[in-house]
Amino acid sequence: MPKVIRILGAVSFVFAAICLAGCGAATKHSSASVNKPLILPETTSGKPKIVAFGDSLTAGFGLTENESYPYLLQQKLKADGFDYEVINAGVSGDTSQGGLERVDWALGMDNVKILVLELGGNDLLRGIPVAKMKSNLDQIIGKAQAKGVKVLLCGMLAPPTMGTQYQRDYISAFPDLAEDHHISFLPFLLDNIALKKELNQADGIHPNAEGEKIMTDNVYKELKKML
């Protein structure tokens, strides 16, 4: 808990800059990238699939494909002898609403076994009501479970500058959803990355190549328990 408090305190200090970078990116992508892609991500086999479903943090914004966390996750699975195919279904600028609108497409791929759900950061940057975000995520999780797909929910944090009530509701939304649906939960996707200049790109919000490695480790620690 003290670690989370320290992160929240620092987050409030840089949140204005993050909003300028994040909201600008979200606006840029809102008319196109948030919509369902025209084609499915390329799949290479009939192997069981892990769908990395999220926004720019999943898509690997500002990085090459080989530096993105879904690619690195694939390498970790292979090295440990797990025969899964990881699909990068990240869309930069996506919100929980955008995710809800395209999740049927993602779950419609053959042999999907696990959904790594990473959404909510852009909801925060846009000040979308927490109840709306939580409802969207609740429906996404429900759709996955209806198809027998396991879900790993990735949590995020909100700074005090959003207001005490918003911050409290936002932070608690993720563990509440995980408990309600009895799903696996990663409390903070950017643990050991957030606010570390050497691990982030110039915008201060997207991990660089080194930060992606740590983010991959964060995800894999929880994902491995599900395999």
Catalytic site positions: 56, 203, 206
Note the residue count of the chain.
Answer: 227
